[in-house]
Chain A
Amino acid sequence: MTINQFFEYFQYPFIVRGLLIGLLVAIIGSMLGHFLVLKKMSLIGDGLAHVAYLSVAISIVFLSQSLIFNLLLATTASLTIHYLISFNKGYSDAIIGGIATSAIALGTLIITTNPNQNVRIEQFLFGSLLLLRDLDIIAVITLAVLVVAFVGLFFNELMTLTFDQDFAKVNRLHPQRYQVGLAMLTSWLVIIGIRASGSLLISSFLIFPTLIVMNFKLGFVRSFFVGILIATFNFLIGFALSLWFDLPTGSTIVLTYSVLWLLSVSIIPILKGTQA
C-alpha cells in the first residue's frame, strides 16, 4: 500500500467516524480507568462490558437498537454491581464474574434464538467500524464533556478515595457518591464504545493506560495525564496499522497496548540496571 492509498481511506465517512469515536472512547477510558484500576475496581468495566452485550442483544431483537434503552439498562447494571460490591466487599471479583457470564449467556441465547434477524454475535464481541452511526458521534462527544466535567471538578476527591477510602469518609468527602458516579460513567462509556471496540475488548481501554504508566512511578496526577497521552498515541498507531495491513481494528489496538505494556514492564528494569 502506498501513502496515498492509505490517506484515501479518510475520504470515507465511516473511517473518519470510527477514528473520532474510537479516539474519544480511548481517552475517556484512560481517564475513568485511572481511578478504577488504582481502586482495584477495573473488573467493573469488564463486567459492565458483558452486561452491555446483553443490553445490545435485547435492543437489537426487540427495540431496533435503542441507545436510550441501552444506557438505562447499563446504568441499572452498574448501580446493581456497585451495590453488590459495597454490600459484600471481599468477593467483588467473583460477583462481577457471575453477573458477566450470566449476561453473556443470556445475550447469546437471545440473539441465536431470533432467526428473523441477520445479526452476527462477533460484531458485538469485537466491534465494527461499520456499525457506527452519526448518533454515536453525538453520544460520545456528550459523554466526553460529562467525563471531563466530572473528573475536572472532583479530581481531588477521586484521588483521595482511590488512595484511602476511610480517610475520605472520615473527612466527609462522601466516597460512595463519587464511586457511583464513576460506575455510571463507565457503564455509559461501555454502551457507547461497544460498537467501536466490542464488549470483549473495551475493558482494555480502561485498564491498559494505567497498567502501563504505573511502571514509571510518576505520581498520581502526572500518571493520569501521561495515561491520556499513551491512550491517544496507542489508538492512532493501532488504527493506522489496522488500515495499512487490513487487520481488524479493535484487536489491533488492544495488541498494540499489549506490546506497549510488555515494553514498559521489561524496559524499565533494564534502564534502572544501567543507572546502577
Chain B
Amino acid sequence: MNHYQKVKSKPLIQIKNLNVKFDKLNVIQDASIDFLRQDQVALVGANGAGKTTLLRVILGLIKPESGVVQTQPRLSIGYLPQVLTLGDKLFPMTVKEVVRQGLIAKKKFPRWTNLHDEQTLDSCLKQFLIDELSNQAFGLLSLGQKQLVLFARMMVQEPDIVFLDEPTSSLDVSRKNSIYDILDNLKKKQVPYVIITHDLPSFSSHILRVIYLEHKVLFDGSYDAFCENETFSPFIHTHAHGDHHDH
C-alpha cells in the first residue's frame, strides 16, 4: 500500500459520465462518482436502480456504453459476492481451497502456491476463526459461514478497496452481526469499503457517505445529510424492515 502514499489525494476509483444500456433501457445515466481512500460508503437505491450493474462495471464484468472507470494502477479491488450464488452442495471445494483462491489471484504465472503461501493461508484461516472448518466442504456450510469464508478469501488478497454486494440479504437478523464484525475489521485495517444495499438503516453506524442511485446519481453526500434530506425520508423508513422480501 506504500505505493499509494505518493498519490494519496487522488481517488482510488474515478467514474466519469458513465452510461450503461441493456438493449434500449438506460440502466445507468451519466453517473460520475469518485471513491476515496477513507470512504465508508453505502450505495443505495430501489431494486433495478442499477446498483449491481454499477458494481459490475467497476469490476470490469460489464462494458459501459460510454464513459470511463479509471482505477489507480495496480489497485486491488476486493469483492464480496452475494453468498447465494456460490457453492452447490455437491461441489467438492473445501473451505481452505476457497480461501486459497485469494492467494492464487494475486500471483503471476505459474500461479502455484508455495510453503510461504500456505503459512499465510493458515494464519488467515485462524484470524477469521474458520481454521476448524478448513477441510469441510464449502457447499455444506451455513450462509453466515460461507460469507465469512468468502470474506477471508477477499482479505487474503490485501485489497485496497472493497465492495460488498447486499451482504445482509441472505442472512437472518442474528447473523447480521457477522457482517458488522466484517465491517469493523475493515475499519481497523483502514480499508475503504462500499456496501451495496437497500437496507440503509442496518448500516447506519458503519457508514459515512451515501450514494443514492436511481439510474442517475440523485444523491452523493454524508450519511447525516442524506437522513436530513426530506426527499429520501420514505426510503430510510420504509426500507428499514424490507430486507427479507427481496429475493
Contacts and interface: CB of A to CB of B under 8 A. Distances in A.
B92 A219 contact: yes
B105 A171 contact: yes
A244 to B, nearest CB: 34
Contact of A38 (B77, B91, B98, B105): B91
Contacts of B97: 159, 219-221
Interface of A: 38, 153-154, 156-157, 159-160, 163-164, 166-171, 173, 213-221, 223
Nearest to B153: A167
Contact of A166 (B61, B113, B153): B61
Interface string B125-156: 00000000001010010000000000001000
* Majority DSSP secondary structure for residues of B touching A: loop
A171 B61 CA distance: 11
> Would you list the 8 A-B pairs with minimal beta carbon distance, nearest first?
A171-B105, A219-B94, A223-B92, A156-B104, A156-B111, A217-B137, A170-B59, A220-B93
7 contacts: A156-B113, A160-B101, A170-B59, A219-B92, A219-B137, A220-B92, A221-B97
A177 to B, nearest CB: 12
Contacts of A154: 110-111
Interface string B49-62: 00000000001110
B164 to A, nearest CB: 14
A221 B98 CA distance: 11
Nearest to A153: B110
Interface residues of B, number: 30
B92 to A, nearest CB: 4
Contact of A170 (B61, B92, B110): B61
Interface in B65-109: 77, 79, 81, 86-87, 90-94, 96-98, 101, 104-106, 109
Contacts of A217: 92, 137, 140
A166 B81 contact: yes
Contacts of A156: 101, 104, 111-113
Nearest to A226: B92
Interface of B: 59-61, 77, 79, 81, 86-87, 90-94, 96-98, 101, 104-106, 109-113, 135, 137, 140, 153, 157
B59 A163 contact: no
A220 B87 CA distance: 12
A164 B92 contact: no
A225 to B, nearest CB: 12
Given A214-B90, A219-B93, A220-B92, A163 B61 contact: no
Contacts of A223: 92
Contacts of A167: 79, 81, 101, 105, 153
Given A170-B79, A221-B97, A163 B91 contact: yes
Nearest to B137: A217
A160 B104 contact: yes
Nearest to B135: A219
B61 A159 contact: no
Given A170-B59, A219-B135, A164 B105 contact: no
Given A163-B98, A170-B61, A221-B97, 13 more contacts: A153-B110, A156-B111, A159-B101, A160-B101, A163-B93, A164-B81, A167-B79, A170-B60, A171-B106, A213-B92, A215-B90, A218-B92, A219-B135
A62 B136 CA distance: 55
A38 B92 contact: yes
Nearest to B110: A153
Nearest to A217: B137
